[in-house]
A and B are shown apart, each in its own frame.
Chain A
Amino acid sequence: MGGKVVRIKEHPILKFDRGKELAFFFDGRELLGHEGETIAAALHAAGVRELSTSAVLHRPRGFFCAIGTCSSCLMVVNGVPNVRVCVERLAAGMIVETQQGRGDLGASV
């Protein structure tokens, strides 16, 4: 995963009031995040930077804008593809999966 990713503990200006700890699943692994944070922030704090693969060349994709406009962070969340994880809040028990390419809406949709 490359770089050291940490939760900032001390900051000269900001105080981080993190919500209660939540367990969620990323590609079958159980990870911990906090209530109130986005899925992308929780994954990043857990050292996960690769969120999906590109549609044609299958290159790794992370987030870019973090405000829900660039479509670089689309993942499959609870079976639903193309969820913008940079703005979607984490919930307990969420099943988050790396999205391969465009994602599949399935026959039921």
Chain B
Amino acid sequence: MHRYDICVIGGGPAGLSAAKAAGNAGAKVLLIDENDRLGGQLIKQTHMFFGSEKQQAGTRGIDISSQLVDAIGRMPNVEVYLECAALGLYDDKVLTMLHKKRYEKIVATKFIVATGASERMLAFVGNDLPGVYGAGAVQTLMNVYGVSPGARVLMIGAGNIGLIVSYQLLQAGVNVVAILEASPHIGGYLVHAAKVRRAGVPILTSHTIKEAYGARAVEGATICELDEKWQVRPGSERKIAVDVVCLAVGLSPLTDLLWQADCRMIHVTELGGHVAWRDANLCTSQGHIYIAGDVAGVEEASSAMVEGELAGLAAAKELGLATPALELGLSEAREQLRALRSGPVGDKIRTGLALAQSGEVFGIA
């Protein structure tokens, strides 16, 4: 069986950064991804990132992905397995995998789980009709394959994803009929909201979708207004002709592997659902398993990359690879995360992280 110091599961922004940081620290690293290419969801992010220079602000997600992949490609001590899905992670530090349709096993001293998150569904009549797509799916279709998802799109959710994907639809020449937001306020950054509004797309707050209808695929949607108690305002229903309903109503961490590995799990609404308890270095209750990125709590790609770096360096340090440079990297990563999560925008995530790190729930000191 092949042996590694650190095995990183998932080659998106968090996993790529973790592999790069651990590789730089001198660890023998294996990075696996179930897809036939690295980059995760970065490969469809055509917008420029926010944050400071250290988090590559002003660079488009697609370009950040190639930079990270190139950096890893230059490291002889980092190996990559593509088309490799993790199946099980065990107490004896064995990972079982389906690698190019073959069952394989490896051993690693530390694991960094960076499996990301998946699109959330919303309950409404007809939500199973073809034409009801997750926002990520719409992005993949148009930004990776250059296929427009339809002609008239109804966007559900005015958080950053809903706003950014709406703008990307406009760039691809697709008509966005309206953006609905159930809460009374737009959740995303106002700079994104202003861009779609300037393009003439109405953002209807306190509105939601009641039904998607059509014979074999979406032909229209019934929308309605919500009152202060989130109930449908009687008589507010109206029908609009659309062929795509795009759901941007949040993400759920993809935690299957962490449950299977018996990490202590805790439900934290602010982080998107069940997540693993972790310490300040992103180490879970299973000392050989670290987490980074959306699987640790749904946030932005910028913070996912810094979390990857933190987990990669912290795991390398545990392996005895500490150097002054590594220590400096660790403190810089912590400082960057603090800055990214500062201010009122970071309120929710700070509350969530405090809960996810709290030992009280499990009687951990």
Contact = CB atoms under 8 A, between A and B. Distances in A.
B225 interface: no
A56 to B, nearest CB: 12
Given A2-B243, A86-B137, A7 B147 contact: yes
B147 A41 contact: yes
Nearest to A34: B145
Interface of A: 1-8, 10-14, 16, 18, 37-38, 41, 44-45, 49-51, 54, 59-70, 72, 86-87, 89
Interface in B99-139: 118-119, 121, 128-134, 136-137
Interface of B: 34-36, 41, 46, 60, 118-119, 121, 128-134, 136-137, 140-152, 171-173, 214, 216-219, 243-244, 254
Contact of A44 (B34, B41, B149, B173): B149
Contact of A14 (B46, B137, B152): B46
Nearest to A18: B146
A70 B254 CA distance: 11
A2 B71 CA distance: 45
Contacts of B217: 1-3, 49-50, 60, 62
Contacts of B142: 8
B130 A38 contact: no
B143 A64 contact: no
A67 B41 contact: yes
Given A7-B146, A87-B35, A62 B129 contact: yes
Contacts of A54: 128
